[in-house]
Amino acid sequence: MKHFHLTEELAQEITGAGRVEQLFAALANATGRMGFDHFALAFDRRGNDGASMLVHNYPDAWAKIYVGFDLGAADPIRRAGERSVTGFQWRDVNRYIPLSRGDRQLLNVARESGVGDGFTVPRHLPGEASGSCSFAVSPRAALPADMLHAAEILGAIAIASARELIGSSPLRPRPVLTERQRECVLWSARGKTAGEIGDILGISEETVVRHLKMARDRYSVHCRSMLILCALFDGLIGFSDIYDWWRPN
């Protein structure tokens, strides 16, 4: 690997950060040494507390707009990060997600605010946390192509470091469903109606309705879609469990 020693040195610094300030300093240093202009490290823990961390040195203009208008909820980069397990260049986001008009507009505003292209390393621990570490350059600058591998590694380390700092997350007490409830949710996620599920499982439709009812109660949700999403998010069912049923290609 090129720049092996530099990567090693910066990795040490990031890993060794015991406080947020040190993490900021280490990342700022790494950003500059790699040839980027800005960085942004975001970490969100999904749990009872929902602790989160955001460390960055973006230009004030962009930071104010982003935070002020709560653009995070619509940020295509963040959305693309949920579609990739490897680092990606912002210019390639349309490989991961379709860009809507609003998305392009957002990227334009970012450019006008001093943030051009970038490289984002996403990491997800569904049900526990998700984080991303982005390295960006100014509008007309080019990404340091020979540093993307280093960025990938350092970004991942930074996310791990953030996770350490924010505290290890005990496994959230999940409203685990019973076996039968889970089966009903699974078949429901496969697009079956209560009646069909009843036929499949060899029980009454009413009983299926009952299982789904109990499952909704446990998650305190009021509709089947939410129930499926909860089960999906908690890992009770997986995309691979259901993919073939609604994408019959």
Chain residues in the site for a copy of itself (CB under 8 A) = 44, 46-50, 72-74, 78-80, 82-85, 94-98, 100-102, 123-127, 130, 171, 174, 176, 179, 182, 188-189, 191, 193, 219, 221-226, 228-230, 232-244, 246-247, 249
Cβ burial, residue 51 (10 Å; 0-12/13-18/19+): middle
Instruction: Confirm if 224 and 188 have CB atoms less than 8 A apart.
Output: yes
Binding partner of residue 85 among a copy of itself, DNA, none, CB cut-off 5 to 8 Å per kind: a copy of itself
Task: Dig out the tokens for 150 from the structure.
Answer: 């280093």
Binding partner of residue 123 among a copy of itself, DNA, none, CB cut-off 5 to 8 Å per kind: a copy of itself
Name the minimum Å distance from CB 241 to DNA: 18
Torsion angle of the four alpha carbons 144, 153, 45, 222, in this order, in degrees rounded to the nearest 10: 80
Q: CA 139 to CA 137: how far, in whole Å?
A: 7
Give the closest residue to 89 by CA, choosing from 109, 69, 71, 107. 107
Binding partner of residue 214 among a copy of itself, DNA, none, CB cut-off 5 to 8 Å per kind: DNA
- Cα distances (angstroms) measured from residue 192 to each of 58, 187, 224: 47, 6, 11
Name the minimum Å distance from CB 148 to DNA: 34
Instruction: Confirm if 71 and 65 have CB atoms less than 8 A apart.
Output: yes
- Cα distances (angstroms) measured from residue 23 to each of 28, 76, 101, 149: 8, 26, 35, 20
Closer to a copy of itself at the Cβ: 56 or 163? Answer: 163
Q: CA 90 to CA 77: how far, in whole Å?
A: 7
Closer to DNA at the Cβ: 53 or 201? Answer: 201
Q: What is the DSSP letter of 92?
A: G
Name the minimum Å distance from CB 181 to DNA: 5
Name the minimum Å distance from CB 170 to DNA: 21
Binding partner of residue 14 among DNA, a copy of itself, none, CB cut-off 5 to 8 Å per kind: none
CA triple 18-143-27, angle to 5 deg: 10
Name the minimum Å distance from CB 141 to a copy of itself: 27
Name the minimum Å distance from CB 223 to DNA: 3
Residues in Cβ contact with 114 at an 8 Å cutoff, skipping those fewer than 6 apart = 58, 59, 61, 62, 138, 139
Name the minimum Å distance from CB 101 to a copy of itself: 6
Closer to a copy of itself at the Cβ: 28 or 109? Answer: 109
Interaction residues for DNA, span 171-230 (CB under 7 A)? 178-181, 188, 193-195, 198, 201, 203-207, 209-214, 216, 222-225
Closer to DNA at the Cβ: 149 or 224? Answer: 224
Where on the chain is the footprint of DNA (CB under 7 A)? Answer: 178-181, 188, 193-195, 198, 201, 203-207, 209-214, 216, 222-225
